[in-house]
């Protein structure tokens, strides 16, 4: 790019118009390359589910937008997994039966925890690939959050 700028300066100083045509050809090629990259991204994202928020940088904090999560999930399984990924609990709302064991697994590169609003349970800080398990013996609604990143919230509804 520095050479291109110096060519433009020489053109203006010497009045030679030939290098200007070369510069515009190079800029058109750059424009074509950028359009090709954008088109490839538009094709790859829907096909492969690639998302900028899936791999959070190690310095990411709660100011980072949350990744989209599926809606409420209802299950009769006795063991259920909630994944922590993209600074979100997935699924964010889980409907389960009494006696179900829920395991939270941190897939982010930063630490998270799981704490109910009423402090009925609280995990330690979970590093990447660590888990926390809790068995819901009582019915009710259990809202929880990551106290490290308070915008991360979830809810367990026990029938």
Extract the tokens encoding 3: 């050479």
Q: Are both 40 and 98 inside the same structural domain?
A: no
Q: Are both 98 and 141 inside the same structural domain?
A: yes
Average pLDDT over the chain, rounded to whole?
Answer: 74
Q: Are both 41 and 92 inside the same structural domain?
A: no
Q: Are both 20 and 86 inside the same structural domain?
A: no
Instruction: State how many domains the chain has.
Output: 2
Q: Which residues pair with residue 116 across a beta bridge?
A: 144
Mean pLDDT of 27-53: 56
- Do the domain assignments include residue 60? no
Q: Are both 136 and 87 inside the same structural domain?
A: yes
Q: Are both 98 and 40 inside the same structural domain?
A: no
Tens of pLDDT along 125-135?
999 999 999 99
Query: Which of 2-11, 80-89, 95-104 shows the lowest per-residue confidence on average (mean pLDDT)?
Result: 2-11
pLDDT at 158 over 50: yes
* Cα–Cα distance, 71 to 67 (Å, whole number): 13
Percent of the chain with pLDDT over 70: 55
CATH for 94:
2.60.40.420
Q: Are both 82 and 142 inside the same structural domain?
A: yes
pLDDT at 112 over 70: yes
């Amino acid at each position: 790019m520095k050479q291109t700028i110096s060519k433009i300066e020489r053109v203006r100083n010497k009045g030679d118009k030939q290098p200007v045509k070369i510069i515009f050809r190079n800029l058109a090629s750059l424009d074509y390359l950028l359009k090709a990259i954008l088109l490839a991204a538009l094709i790859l994202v829907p096909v492969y589910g690639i998302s900028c928020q899936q791999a959070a940088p190690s310095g990411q904090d709660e100011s980072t937008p949350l990744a989209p999560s599926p809606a409420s999930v209802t299950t009769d399984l006795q063991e259920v997994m909630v994944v922590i990924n993209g600074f979100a609990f997935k699924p964010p709302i889980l409907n389960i039966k009494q006696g179900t064991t829920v395991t939270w697994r941190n897939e982010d590169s930063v630490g998270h925890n799981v704490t109910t609003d009423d402090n009925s349970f609280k995990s330690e800080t979970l590093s990447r690939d660590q888990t926390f398990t809790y068995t819901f013996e009582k019915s009710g609604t259990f809202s929880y959050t990551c106290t490290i990143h308070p915008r991360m919230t979830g809810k367990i509804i026990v029938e």
